[in-house]
Chain A
Amino acid sequence: MIPEMYIRGTQVNYYFICKTKLWLFSHNITMEQESDAVNLGKLLHEETFRRDEKDVQIGPISIDIIRKGDVLEIREVKKSKSLMEAHVYQTLYYLYYMHKFGIKAKGILSFPKSRENIEIKLGEEEKEKLERILEDIQRIVAGDMPPPTRSKICKRCAYFEFCFS
């Protein structure tokens, strides 16, 4: 098993959002238990796609919804289209992971609230970028906690009080 295969999807997502958040989450310092946004996301995840197979755990990754067919369909459910790049790369990472196992899969990003679905394709360019990202994630996690930098998304983050108190 190659080391990058121990990375979780959420870590890829957080890589795009905030390096401090990525580090804390990777060291099991989580604060989401009190976040309304996170609870809303959980509820959405539970309430949608009730007939499908959910939370399929493959190694470190946990796929929201899987549908079997000619090609495997991987679905990642999100509540809004903000932070889109993070969502896209999280889904790309799942496709990359499947690809490593030689499994043909297609990815869909689902936004049940706006009833939108976006198909995600893993091309060569994305694959290369992902490999660089996965290496970078390992480097960040192994190092000291990156000091928080304040941005406009901080206000809604579960770590806000932690970072700036």
Chain B
Amino acid sequence: MKKRNYYILSDGHLKRHENTIYFENKDGKRPIPINTIYAIYSFGSLTVTSQSLSLLAKEGVSVHFFNRHGFYTGSFYPRETLISGDMTVKQVQHHLEDKERMYIAKAFVEGSVRNMEKVLSYYDIDFNTDEFLGMLYDAGNIPEVMGVEASARTEYYSHFDGILKHFKFERRTRMPPENEVNAMISFGNSLLYSTVLSEIYNTQLNPTISFLHEPAERRFSLALDIAEIFKPLLVDRTIFHLVNKRIINEDDFTGELNGVLLSDSGRRKFISAYNEKLNTTIKHRSLMRNVSYQRLIRLECYKLVKHFLGVTKYRPFVIWW
């Protein structure tokens, strides 16, 4: 049975009748067969019964909640069923030993920088990859590694206005996003964060033990780490597609709260394009089979597991096509 992501954009109730989940709202009642659900993303005001949560937990389905402005509020992360004490110990060990932690943190940033380069090269834009990788090599502690990531991203974003055919980006602003492009980046990044979290859930990795971000920072910081590598492929390319094909326009945004946010229609368009990206497949070079972009995130988790077990040294995912 092919499982897929469900995105609930309207207000309603999630109920369980026997072993089926139903989404109910003013327009009626729609069954969502449990074994077709990979993860649920909820954007409206959703009432969930405990019976439905217990069925979702039994099937290992996570539910990600976003508030009515599209900001991530939290996840229902079911009880862990894939637990390996050996794995946890090794993951912690790699966090505690400076050399090991730096290796992984730098690998995440390297992947992120190389993927930025790949995205820009499609538009014939040069990127100072070597300079950033050099800085990365010289970085002696985690804040310095984070610093390289930040300067690479600043330069990367500075090229956005050359790519985007309408909308001005200028610079990255958050909380609140000052313009349409920033609104899309914020929204896309939080979607990606939840997607990564769902993938981590399906492995023995512990989502709270991170390497680039501090585990104390907040929530499941390993998801933030891994998301860095995939932002250019999954979020930024989705934005370019929506803007340059003129799928999204000024009407898809609202300008309240001294900031710009995606409207309902905008969110609908973004999610649909984002989900299409996740389902895009590519022939994997060593697996010799087609894998979806979403599955690439899982494979990244597997590579980390193998790194922790001392089987294969971790190398970050870099767009190879």
Contacts and interface: CB of A to CB of B under 8 A. Distances in A.
- Bound pair: A and B? yes
Interface of A: 27-30, 33-34, 144-145, 147, 160-162, 164-165
B175 interface: no
A162 B83 CA distance: 16
Interface of B: 60, 81-87, 202, 204, 284, 286-287, 291, 295, 298-299, 302-303, 305-306, 309-311
Contacts of A164: 286-287
Contact of B82 (A33, A160, A165): A33
Given A27-B87, A28-B86, A29-B204, A161 B309 contact: no
A27 B86 CA distance: 7
Given A29-B87, A33-B202, A162 B82 contact: no
A165 B302 contact: yes
Contacts of B83: 28
Contacts of B60: 33
Contacts of A165: 284, 286-287, 299, 302-303
A165 B310 CA distance: 15
Contacts of B86: 27-29
Q: Which of B87, B303, B305, B306 gathers the greatest number of chain A CB atoms within 10 Å?
A: B306
Given A164-B287, A165-B284, A29 B299 contact: no
B306 A162 contact: yes
Given A28-B86, A165-B286, 18 more contacts: A27-B87, A28-B83, A28-B87, A29-B84, A29-B86, A29-B204, A33-B60, A144-B311, A147-B311, A160-B287, A161-B287, A161-B291, A161-B295, A162-B306, A164-B287, A165-B284, A165-B299, A165-B303
A4 to B, nearest CB: 21
A70 B311 CA distance: 50
B303 to A, nearest CB: 6
Nearest to A20: B311
Q: Which 8 pairs between the two chains have the least Cβ-Cβ distance? A: A28-B84, A165-B299, A162-B302, A27-B86, A29-B84, A145-B311, A165-B302, A164-B286
A16 B284 CA distance: 29
Q: Which of A28, A34, A165 gathers the greatest number of chain B CB atoms within 10 Å?
A: A165
Contacts of A144: 309-311
Nearest to A36: B1
A34 B305 CA distance: 18
Contacts of B298: 161
Contacts of B84: 27-29
A60 B87 CA distance: 22
B305 A162 contact: yes
A44 to B, nearest CB: 17
B302 A161 contact: yes
Contacts of B85: 28
11 contacts: A28-B84, A29-B305, A33-B60, A33-B81, A144-B309, A161-B287, A161-B302, A162-B305, A162-B306, A165-B287, A165-B299
A34 B35 CA distance: 11
A91 to B, nearest CB: 28
Given A162-B302, A165-B286, A28 B202 contact: no
Contacts of B204: 28-29
A165 B299 CA distance: 6
Nearest to B284: A165
Contacts of B302: 161-162, 165
A117 B81 CA distance: 34
Contacts of A162: 302, 305-306
B202 A34 contact: yes
Nearest to B59: A33
A160 B295 CA distance: 13
B287 A30 contact: no
B78 to A, nearest CB: 12
Contacts of A147: 311
